[in-house]
Amino acid sequence: MSRRLVFLPSAEFDFAMAYDVIAQDSPRAAFRFVEDSRRRCEALTDFPRMGRPLDDVVYRITFDRRATVLYAFDEETVWVSALRYLGQAF
């Protein structure tokens, strides 16, 4: 059973910020990065435990050693709460 995927506003902001950082060098690469990352998050709807637990609720998964996604899930929904991109200054 697939869960519903929800990107929380905090994650949407993080995706936009990562896009802006990457787009300074290549808008095309920025678009690809965001689309690929979102597509990989879709896999969490079927396999939410593929990431590593940070605690009892929050999990993380890393893509291409450049980005880490934080998320939580229950039986019906996966909530993506954050994206941490290696090229960003926090």
pLDDT of residue 21: 92
Between the alpha carbon of residue 55 and those of residues 4, 35, 39, 49, 86, the distances in Å are 22, 28, 25, 13, 22
Closest Cα partner for 79 from 3, 12, 6, 9? 6
Q: Provide the percentage of residues in the chain whose pLDDT is more than 70.
A: 94
Q: Provide the percentage of residues in the chain whose pLDDT is more than 90.
A: 84
Three-state DSSP state, 29: helix
Length of the chain as a residue count: 90
Give residue-wise pLDDT tens across range 46-87: 999 999 999 989 999 998 888 999 999 999 999 999 999 886
Q: What is the largest CA-CA distance in the chain?
A: 40
Would you list the domain boundaries of the chain? 4-85
pLDDT band for position 11 (cuts 50, 70, 90): very high
| Partners of residue 69 on adjacent β-strands | 61, 83
- Whole-prediction pTM: 0.89
pLDDT for residue 29 is more than 70: yes
pLDDT of residue 3: 96
Closest Cα partner for 87 from 20, 31, 4? 20
Could you tell me which CATH number the domain at 4-85 has?
A: 3.30.2310.20
